[in-house]
């Protein structure tokens, strides 16, 4: 039996290998495109992101579920960077199953091949259902739609995602439909410069966080540098790349601007061409028992107290328990202390000094009711500031 939840504390010294563009660090050998390798007993794969060479994967090569296998393993084959992944989140998650999702998280055996030298294609490849890319931690991205083909992030078909923006489907694949705020990259994203890479699409192009520059989200750019229908654009330093767009469709990818490797998902070969289109309808299908979270902004670097106001009249999945929650999480942060007075839950969080800034985080609460988990959720409620 795998642990359903754990607290992960890791002290790991990582060097981002800063260097001037075109000058890889000592011992780094080019293998194609923007990729380099430092060979050894455990090779380190570096990616040239603008003016620095970054080790994207070593931070995530760990055995979080204690089965003796690292969640992420990386190797090189001619033309491809190969990622083997268990698809198991290395951050806190909700307990699944719960009242919002009947599925359990299960370890997977993924093998993904990322083209080393991606090229912009003549036609956009439509996104299939199932995995469309991978975050650096080996957890997969799905397109924005739920099984019935409707928007899974907004509208009446909105699905129950935990505060790390993920959930498992029927076979236990934990996945993200939108910007996963719990994926550390391994570099902090303070919103003062271009966001770091958080993953890769199956066409080999990198997926960056939401920021284009100091205080400027890529989703808000207009003119020639505006994101295209795939959520990507090109610049002289990085070439073509994607950005996540919090609270704006398509959230992660709108289509493949390059040529995706079909071995990563059999649906790619029959998915057709053209970008996906939003089909949000109606109001959210998530019960709005959480009526307010205050304050709406908290400073990073210290213990912060947040009040969560409940309105049981909006419960649609059974009564709301009257005791305090067993668990409260906002974004990647788990409550260190929880209290309740009436319909107000007070939770204390230890916010890390390098917390990502500016993006609104989701909140979820859990109650243990006769051995079952009653879960509540509210999206986009708290922003972390300096």
> What confidence tier does 39 reach under pLDDT thresholds 50, 70, 90?
very high
Local structure of 289: helix, strand or coil: coil
Residue 5 has a pLDDT of: 53
CB 378 within 8 A of CB 356: no
Tokens of 327: 């668990």
Residue 62 has a pLDDT of: 87
Residue 383 has a pLDDT of: 96
Give span(s): CATH 2.60.40, the chain.
290-385
Q: What average pLDDT does range 199-206 have in this prediction? A: 98
Q: What average pLDDT does range 137-159 have in this prediction? A: 96
Q: What average pLDDT does range 64-87 have in this prediction? A: 94
Q: Which CATH class is domain 290-385?
A: mainly beta
CB atoms within 10 A of CB 327: 19
Q: What is the DSSP letter of 362?
A: E
Return the percentage of the chain with pLDDT > 70, whole number. Answer: 94
Residue 1 has a pLDDT of: 38
Local structure of 127: helix, strand or coil: coil
Average pLDDT, the chain: 92
CB atoms within 10 A of CB 15: 11
Q: What is the pTM of this model?
A: 0.93
Local structure of 49: helix, strand or coil: strand
Query: Smallest Cα–Cα separation from 87: which of 146, 44, 134?
Result: 134
Please determine, for residue 15, whether its predicted confidence score (pLDDT) is greater than 80: no
Residue 97 has a pLDDT of: 97
Residue 66 has a pLDDT of: 87
């Amino acid at each position: 039996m795998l642990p359903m939840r754990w607290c992960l504390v890791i002290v790991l010294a990582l060097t981002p290998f800063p260097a001037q563009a075109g000058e890889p660090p000592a011992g780094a050998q080019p293998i194609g495109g923007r990729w380099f390798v430092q060979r050894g007993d455990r090779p380190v794969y570096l990616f040239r992101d603008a003016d620095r060479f970054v080790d994207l994967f070593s931070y995530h090569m760990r055995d979080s579920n204690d089965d003796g296998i690292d969640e992420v393993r990386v190797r090189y084959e001619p033309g491809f960077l190969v990622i083997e992944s268990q698809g198991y989140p290395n951050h806190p998650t909700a307990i699944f199953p719960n009242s919002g999702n009947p599925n359990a998280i299960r370890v997977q055996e993924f093998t993904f091949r990322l083209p080393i030298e991606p090229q912009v294609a003549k036609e956009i490849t439509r996104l299939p259902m199932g995995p469309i890319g991978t975050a650096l931690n080996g957890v997969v991205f799905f397109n924005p739609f739920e099984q019935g083909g409707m928007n899974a992030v907004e509208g009446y078909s909105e699905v129950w995602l935990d505060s790390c923006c993920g959930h498992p489907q029927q076979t236990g694949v934990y996945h993200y439909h939108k910007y996963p705020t719990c994926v550390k990259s391994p570099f902090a994203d303070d919103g003062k410069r271009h966001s770091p890479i958080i993953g890769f699409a199956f066409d080999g192009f990198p997926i960056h966080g939401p920021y284009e520059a100091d205080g400027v989200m890529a989703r808000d750019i207009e003119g020639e540098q505006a994101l295209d229908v795939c959520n990507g654009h090109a610049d002289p330093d990085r070439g073509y790349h994607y950005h996540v767009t919090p609270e704006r469709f398509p959230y992660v990818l709108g289509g493949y601007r390059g040529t995706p490797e079909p071995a990563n998902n059999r649906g790619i070969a029959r998915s057709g061409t053209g970008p996906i289109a939003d089909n949000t309808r109606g109001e959210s299908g998530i019960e709005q028992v959480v009526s307010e979270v205050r304050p709406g902004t908290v400073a990073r670097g210290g213990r912060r107290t947040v009040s969560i106001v409940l309105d049981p009249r909006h419960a649609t999945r059974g009564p709301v328990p009257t005791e305090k929650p067993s668990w409260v999480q906002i974004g990647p942060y788990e409550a260190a202390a929880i209290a309740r007075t009436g319909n107000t839950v007070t939770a204390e969080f230890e916010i890390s000094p390098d917390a990502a800034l500016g993006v609104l985080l989701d909140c979820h609460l859990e109650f243990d009711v006769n051995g079952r988990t009653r879960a509540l959720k509210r999206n986009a409620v708290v922003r972390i500031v300096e």
